[in-house]
């Protein structure tokens, strides 16, 4: 257990250093603050960006949170013009959620940041090494999902 704690501390330090490096050397990351998103709103936007169009139920199920919590986040994001809602023409009981104008701007900024990070940092290691990091993170995240099942 002690060895795990020491290693986790070192990993956390590297994540902190990497975050600081990105903040100091990537002006575009600072632009994310202009959207004034809470952490919950931000992760909801990430989900919508990757899965658009979505319904509120999808978000609730993905994050294992209540529909009322999702409704509050979605209402605020809609008010901020990050998303808009539209009745599903196929199933009129469903409301589809799409990126709004500000949400599109947010998405474009994220893509630009990803490209900068690939160019400045990620491309300096092999794709195999990056895939190993992804595999490790998938195992860690999978541990939580398996316990919740």
Residues 87 and 94 sit within 8 Å (Cβ to Cβ): yes
Residue 98: φ, ψ to 5°: -125, 160
Q: What is the pLDDT of residue 56?
A: 95
Alpha-carbon torsion, ordered 95, 74, 47, 14, to 10 deg: 180
Write out the two tokens for 3. Answer: 């060895």
Range of the domain at 34: 27-123
Q: Global pTM?
A: 0.85
Mean predicted lDDT score pLDDT of the chain: 92
Alpha-carbon torsion, ordered 42, 45, 50, 56, to 10 deg: 130
**108: CATH:** 1.10.10.10
Residue 13 lies inside a defined structural domain of this protein? no
- What pLDDT, in 10s, does the model give residues 46-99? 999 999 999 999 999 999 999 999 999 999 999 999 999 999 999 999 999 999
Q: What is the pLDDT of residue 85?
A: 96
Residue 50 lies inside a defined structural domain of this protein? yes
């Amino acid at each position: 257990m002690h060895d795990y704690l020491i290693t986790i501390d070192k990993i956390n330090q590297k994540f902190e250093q990497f975050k600081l490096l990105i903040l100091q050397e990537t002006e575009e990351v600072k632009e994310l603050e202009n959207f004034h998103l809470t952490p919950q709103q931000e992760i909801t936007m990430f989900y919508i960006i990757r899965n658009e169009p979505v319904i509120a139920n999808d978000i609730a199920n993905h994050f294992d949170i209540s529909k009322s919590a999702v409704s509050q986040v979605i209402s605020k994001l809609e008010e901020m013009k990050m998303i808009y809602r539209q009745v599903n023409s196929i199933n009129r009981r469903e409301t589809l959620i799409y990126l709004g104008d500000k949400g599109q701007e947010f998405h474009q900024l994220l893509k630009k940041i990803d490209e900068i990070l690939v160019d400045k940092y990620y491309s300096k290691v092999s794709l195999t090494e990056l895939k190993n990091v992804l595999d490790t993170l998938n195992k860690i995240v999978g541990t939580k999902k398996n316990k919740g099942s």
